[in-house]
């Protein structure tokens, strides 16, 4: 299978090729043709399986075949995501591909924790919004955005959005959308909560569930250490030093714990920063940027923040709890 077979606009195929994609992943192979036909999709595939391009490519392709309209505050595409980091990452994929296209398409990220004014301005003329629910509603309430012309709705990492308690806000948003539209819901897991939202949102969807192949994680070694709570900190430091770990992502169960673990590492001369929902957006972005570029040795994160975040060949992940 090659990207050529989807009948996508040639410049989209060129763009993904220049991004290093040679063949579509399983979820892309199944989703892209359905999405291109305008059908509703429920796509379940594990993290790292390429869900983003499964909706980005057909969406950009669709827009290539429509005439650019006069600038307004009425986006045609809405992608809802659970975190600010994911909004930035997903909009990055849209932009990278859109950059190569003959018909210009503007995609912007909408998320809280930063000043709302620049986003109010940026919405003007944006055809694609990638948004966290709360800030999108703020913009809507202040008449900076009008959602009645949305033709395509995507929920990315939908299970996480429900876990984070976005259900009410999501339902509020759904009510602002026109009835006639395409819906795509992507998730790493299929939870009971998800079944609920699937039933209200999707009409006669194509369900695409990519099974994890056996041996699919052969590149990953798993190890567990059983220690009492008070020995965890010293063991963590020992492992980082002993194995000379240069890029380590540590998961904790709460923001408070992330602060504590990162603080303790720093005190002991191991470069570490915490990242969680209580941190300012600039601190979060800076920590993530440093970690991705290899400047920062240890990033201590809550699971919720790190969901969907893509880091190439991350060598070490430690689940602290
Ligand atoms: P998911 O949302 O399923 O967790 P992503 O869409 O974030 O996965 O993709 C994970 C990584 O795989 C990204 O670095 C992305 O650029 C890369 N990727 C996606 N599709 C392909 C492909 N067809 N070929 C090669 N790499 C791909
Ligand atoms: Mg994803």
**Interval 57-72: pLDDT, tens:** 999 999 999 998 889 9
Burial label for 119, CB within 10 Å (0-12, 13-18, 19+), is buried
- Sign of the dihedral through C-alpha 267, 271, 272, 273: positive
Pick the ligand that lies closest to the CA of residue 16: 1
User: In the chain, where does DSSP find H-type helix?
Assistant: 10-18, 26-36, 51-64, 84-98, 117-123, 133-141, 158-163, 167-176, 192-201, 229-242, 255-267, 281-293, 303-306
Contact 257, 206 (CB under 8 A): no
User: Hey, what's the torsion of the CAs at 9, 13, 16, 21, to 10 degrees?
Assistant: 140
pLDDT for 199: 81
Quote the pLDDT of residue 200: 79
Most confident of 139-148, 207-216, 273-282: 139-148
Ligand 1 atom nearest the C-alpha of 20 is 25
Helix (H, G, I), strand (E, B) or coil at 18: helix
- Please list, residue by residue across 248-282, b when 16 or more beta carbons sit within 10 angstroms of its beta carbon and e when fewer do: bbbbbeebebbbebbebbeeeebebbbbbeebeee
The residue whose CA has the least distance to atom 15 of ligand 1 is 50
Name the nearest CA neighbour of 91 among 40, 156, 184: 156
Task: For residue 309, give the 3-state DSSP assignment.
Answer: coil
Q: Ligand 1 pocket: which of 4, 20, 50, 188 to mutate (most atoms <8 Å of CB)?
A: 50
The pocket of ion ligand 2, defined by CB under 5 A, consists of 51, 308
Residue 186 confidence (pLDDT) above 80: yes
Lowest mean pLDDT among 64-78, 194-208, 233-247: 194-208
Q: Which domains does the chain have, with CATH numbers?
A: 3-214 (3.40.50.300), 221-319 (3.40.50.300)
Q: Which ligand is nearest to the CA of 160?
A: 2
C-alpha count within 13 angstroms, C-beta hemisphere, residue 117: 0
Ligand index nearest the alpha carbon of residue 52: 1
Indicate whether residue 48 lines ligand 1 (CB < 6 A).
yes
The band of 215, judged by pLDDT with boundaries at 50, 70 and 90, is: low
Q: Collapsing DSSP states into helix, strand and coil, what is residue 97? A: helix
Å from CA of 156 to ligand 2 middle: 6
């Amino acid at each position: 299978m090659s990207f050529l077979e989807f009948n996508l606009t040639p410049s989209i195929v060129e763009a993904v090729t220049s991004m290093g994609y040679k063949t579509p992943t399983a979820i892309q192979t199944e989703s892209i043709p359905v999405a291109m036909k305008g059908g509703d999709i429920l796509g379940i595939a594990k993290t790292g399986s390429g869900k983003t391009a499964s909706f980005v490519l057909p969406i950009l392709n669709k827009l290539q075949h429509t005439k650019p309209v006069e600038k307004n505050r009425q986006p045609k595409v809405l992608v809802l995501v659970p975190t600010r980091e994911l909004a930035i990452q997903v909009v990055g994929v849209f932009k990278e591909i859109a950059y190569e296209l003959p018909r210009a398409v503007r995609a912007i990220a909408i998320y809280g924790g930063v000043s709302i004014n620049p986003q109010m301005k940026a919405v003007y003329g944006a055809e694609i919004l990638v948004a966290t629910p709360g800030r999108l509603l703020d913009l809507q309430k202040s008449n900076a955005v009008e959602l009645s012309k949305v033709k395509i709705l995507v929920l990315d990492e939908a299970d996480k959005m429900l876990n984070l308690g976005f259900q009410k806000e999501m339902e509020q948003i759904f009510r602002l959308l026109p009835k006639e539209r395409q819906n795509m819901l992507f998730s790493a897991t299929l939870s009971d909560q998800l079944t609920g939202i699937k039933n209200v949102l999707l009409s006669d969807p194509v369900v695409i569930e990519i099974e994890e192949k056996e041996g699919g994680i052969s590149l990953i070694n798993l190890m567990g250490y059983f220690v009492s709570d008070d020995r965890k900190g010293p063991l963590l430091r020992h492992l980082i030093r002993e194995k000379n770990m240069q890029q380590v992502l540590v998961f904790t169960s709460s923001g408070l714990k992330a602060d504590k673990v990162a603080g303790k590492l720093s005190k002991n001369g191991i470069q570490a920063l915490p990242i969680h929902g209580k941190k300012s957006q600039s601190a979060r972005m800076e920590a993530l940027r440093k970690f991705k570029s290899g400047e920062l040795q240890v990033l201590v994160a809550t699971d919720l923040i790190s969901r969907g975040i893509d880091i190439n060949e991350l060598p070490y992940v430690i689940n602290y709890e």
